[in-house]
Structure formats: structure tokens, C-alpha cells
């Protein structure tokens, strides 16, 4: 029997697991006001402050706008306020329109037009209070697991990640896919050395070619710059945890996606399909940006594996922390949700995977994660880099 949970069904049919009012700044210049409005409003308001400037090259701006629109469109968001200084290339009104396509209430606020920071904070508070009144009309109702988009992420990896936590999360992905849902994992640099395994699992040649092309692009960036990945991948922390090469890290990292066929390969923050099976995404290895990319694509819940003890959360999607390292479980229990280190003592991957899946459903139904309890809400927009822009102009880059 397919598993169920209670969620917020939105006007477009998608189901949210939270009912936030998102406060989305279009640039760094509006980020302080967005944060100020959300902080004063209460825990139901979630700001997504970021570092992107008011003017960006085309490919960079398009990606930023796609991320911000995706955050507002995520079904965990019941209503949204878009905040601008008023000089940004990204137009607040068109961003609000992209969010409003989902049928939710959206407002905009211009700091310049309202009369500066103080007036904007006051006006912002009024607006989000009104939006919250509208969002509160939503009630949790029955939904199928097949309506979930589950994102798998890893950060602060060590040797236990590939042995315990990643295969356990992968098993939970397999269970969700079997129940008709969507799972996604990403961090393309961490496919290097394991791409032949992923390629064999691709559902068709088109997906296979795009995946291999993007892995080659990421590896090619190291070639282009005349440097090698060894200082950065695996990171010094990964190395201390026992990971020697990027191949070893990648072979462990891909386990978090499970074992089902790869049905597609999404661009960064490209909307993920409901009921789509396993669909990885092209993202950088930086975990905060990689999580944001998948949440902007519609993922409602994230599982984040960590051996060494990452504390990363997200403002819009609950982040379930899974560790395979017994010391991290002991020392950082207030940041960890699932103990996968039991694998080392003999618990089967299937058994831990079932616990991860049950946690996913409980969190989808409203149970708070440790990151939510601690108010950990990291947010960053991935900036398309100059070397990627050059690649894009040659028709082979990651930007679009």
C-alpha cells in the first residue's frame, strides 16, 4: 500500500509540507529588509536573503531569477512577498507573476518607492500579516507519498558517508520511487569517477549524453584553469575523514540517490516533475547552493547526510540530517535526526533506509527536524561563474 501524509494542497495541485510566507529579495540590496520583515513577523515568515547584486550578466541573472521564482513557487510556500530596492535588473513584478502562476497570494514591495528602509520595514510587516491571514486558510489534508519530491544531499562527508548514511538515504529514495514519487540528488563534481555507473542507469541516450557532458564540463574546468581538484576535492575535512580521492568520494556520494533508473537530468533549479522517479540535477558541490537548487525545483523535503557533522538547514524545506558516524551522532545529537551509524554495528541498509523513509513521511506530515528546531536556515544562490559563461557562449556550459 502506498504511504500517505497530511499536507497543504495548493491551487495548482501540488502539496506543501509546510505553510510558510516567503519573503524573497531580488538582490543583496533588498536582503536586509527581507530578513528584517521576516524576523519581526514570526516563525511562519521565512526570508531568503542572498548575495546577488542588482546587475548581473544575462546567464547569471536568468539563473538567479529562476531560483528565486522557484523558491516562491515551492508548495511549502503558502504566500510570498517579493522585495526589491528598485534598481535591480530582476523585476519584482515579473518575479511575482511567475510565483502567482501557482495560484498563491503574492505581493511586491519596493524600498525606494515606499520611502526607504524604515518605511519598507513597516509596510512589509503589514503586507506579510495580510498574506499570513490568507495562507492560514489552508488546512492539512491527506496526500500520497507519490506527491513528494525528495532531495538527497551530502556535506561534510567522511568514509562512513559511502558505507552507511548515503546507502541508507538511497534506500529511502528507492522506497519513494517505488511508491510513485520523485527523488533527486546532485553535486555534479561528485559524479567524477562514478559517472560510468550513473550512465549505465540512465533511462535513455539523451539523459546519458547530457549527464556525461556536464561531468566532463566540471572536470574540464580544472583542466582549463591548469589546476587539479586534489586540494579541494576531496576537501581537507573529507581527507581527515579517510577519503583519499574524488573517485572514492563520488562512488560513496552517488549511493544517496539509490539504485533506480535515472529518468532525467535537471538543470540547476529547473522544476522537477511530480511522480518522476529518480531525476538528478546539475549543481555545484557547495551544499547550501545545491540544496537551494533542488528546493527551488520544488523539493518539499531534503535528506542531508553528513559524516563529520554539517549543521546546514534551509528556510523553505525541512532538512533531515542523517549521519553514519557514531561519534557525530553522540556529539551532535541536537543537529542529527537519523542515526545510520548502526550500519557499522550490523543493522542492514534496508532497515536504516526504512527509518529514513518513515522520518521523511513524519516530517512531511509536520514533525519538525532538528535544523528547524534550531532555526538553521542557510540560503545562497549559485552564481554562474565567468568560466561557465565562456563555456555557455561556446554552447557547452552549465548556464542557461
Partner 1 sequence: MKGVVLDDVALLMAESDTVATAIDDLDDGRRIAGEGRDLSLSEDVPFGHKIALVAHDPGDEVRKYGEVIGRATDPIAPGEWVHTHNCESTRGRGDLAAAGEEVAE
- The contact set with partner 1 (CB under 8 A) reads 158-160, 162-164, 167, 189, 192-194, 197, 219, 222-230, 233, 239, 241-242, 244-248, 251-252, 307, 325, 343-344, 346-349
Closer of 346 and 395 to partner 1 (Cβ): 346
Closer of 54 and 239 to partner 1 (Cβ): 239
CB 102, min distance to partner 1, A: 39
* Residues 78, 84, 90, 91, CA torsion sign: positive
Closer of 131 and 211 to partner 1 (Cβ): 211
Q: Which three cell numbers stand for residue 400?
A: 542557461
CB-based contact 217:397 (threshold 8 Å): yes
User: Cα dist. 329→91, 167, 322, 325 in Å?
Assistant: 45, 17, 9, 6
CB 202, min distance to partner 1, A: 18
User: Cα dist. 336→135, 306, 389 in Å?
Assistant: 30, 9, 38
CB 205, min distance to partner 1, A: 21
CB-based contact 269:67 (threshold 8 Å): yes
CB 325, min distance to partner 1, A: 8
CB 292, min distance to partner 1, A: 24
Using DSSP, state whether 338 is helix, strand or coil. strand
What is the rounded CA–CA span in Å between residue 363 and residue 313?
Answer: 14
Closer of 106 and 253 to partner 1 (Cβ): 253
Closer of 251 and 380 to partner 1 (Cβ): 251
- Strand 105-110's sheet: what is its strand order? 45-47, 20-25, 77-84, 105-110
Closer of 160 and 186 to partner 1 (Cβ): 160
CB 244, min distance to partner 1, A: 5
Amino acid at each position: 500500500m502506498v504511504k500517505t501524509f497530511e499536507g497543504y494542497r495548493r491551487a495548482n495541485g501540488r502539496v506543501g509540507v509546510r505553510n510558510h510566507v516567503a519573503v524573497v529579495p531580488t538582490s543583496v540590496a533588498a536582503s536586509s529588509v527581507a530578513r528584517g520583515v521576516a524576523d519581526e513577523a514570526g516563525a511562519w515568515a521565512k526570508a531568503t536573503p542572498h548575495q546577488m547584486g542588482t546587475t548581473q550578466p544575462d546567464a547569471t541573472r536568468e539563473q538567479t531569477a529562476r531560483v528565486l521564482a522557484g523558491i516562491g513557487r515551492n508548495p511549502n510556500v503558502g504566500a510570498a512577498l517579493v522585495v526589491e530596492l528598485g534598481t535591480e535588473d530582476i523585476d519584482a513584478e515579473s518575479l511575482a507573476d511567475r510565483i502567482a502562476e501557482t495560484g498563491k497570494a503574492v505581493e511586491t514591495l519596493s524600498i525606494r518607492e515606499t520611502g526607504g528602509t524604515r518605511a519598507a520595514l513597516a509596510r512589509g510587516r503589514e503586507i506579510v500579516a495580510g498574506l499570513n491571514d490568507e495562507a492560514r486558510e489552508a488546512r492539512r489534508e491527506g496526500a500520497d507519498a507519490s506527491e513528494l519530491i525528495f532531495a538527497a544531499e551530502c556535506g561534510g562527508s567522511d568514509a562512513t558517508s559511502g558505507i552507511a548514511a548515503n546507502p541508507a538515504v538511497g534506500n529511502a529514495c528507492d522506497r519513494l520511487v517505488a511508491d510513485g514519487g520523485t527523488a533527486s540528488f546532485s553535486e555534479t563534481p561528485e559524479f567524477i569517477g562514478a559517472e560510468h555507473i550513473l550512465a549505465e542507469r540512465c533511462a535513455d541516450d539523451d539523459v546519458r549524453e547530457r549527464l556525461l557532458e556536464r561531468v566532463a564540463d566540471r572536470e574540464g574546468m580544472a583542466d582549463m584553469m591548469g589546476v587539479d581538484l586534489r586540494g579541494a576535492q576531496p576537501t581537507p575535512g573529507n581527507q581527515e575523514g579517510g577519503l583519499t580521492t574524488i573517485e572514492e568520494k563520488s562512488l560513496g556520494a552517488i549511493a544517496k540517490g539509490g539504485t533506480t533508473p535515472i529518468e532525467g537530468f535537471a538543470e540547476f533549479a529547473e522544476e522537477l516533475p511530480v511522480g518522476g522517479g529518480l531525476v538528478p540535477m546539475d549543481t555545484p558541490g557547495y551544499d547550501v547552493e545545491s540544496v537551494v537548487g533542488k528546493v527551488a525545483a520544488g523539493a518539499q523535503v531534503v535528506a542531508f547526510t553528513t559524516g563529520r557533522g554539517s549543521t546546514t538547514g534551509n528556510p523553505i524545506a525541512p532538512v533531515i540530517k542523517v549521519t553514519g558516524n557514531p561519534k557525530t551522532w553522540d556529539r551532535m545529537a541536537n543537529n542529527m535526526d537519523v542515526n545510520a551509524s548502526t550500519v557499522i554495528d550490523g543493522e542492514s541498509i534496508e532497515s536504516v533506509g526504512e527509518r529514513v523513509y518513515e522520518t521523511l513521511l513524519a516530517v512531511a506530515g509536520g514533525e519538525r527536524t532538528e535544523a528547524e528546531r534550531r532555526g538553521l536556515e542557510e540560503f545562497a544562490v549559485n552564481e554562474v561563474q565567468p568560466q561557465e559563461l565562456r563555456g555557455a557562449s561556446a554552447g557547452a556550459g552549465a548556464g542557461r
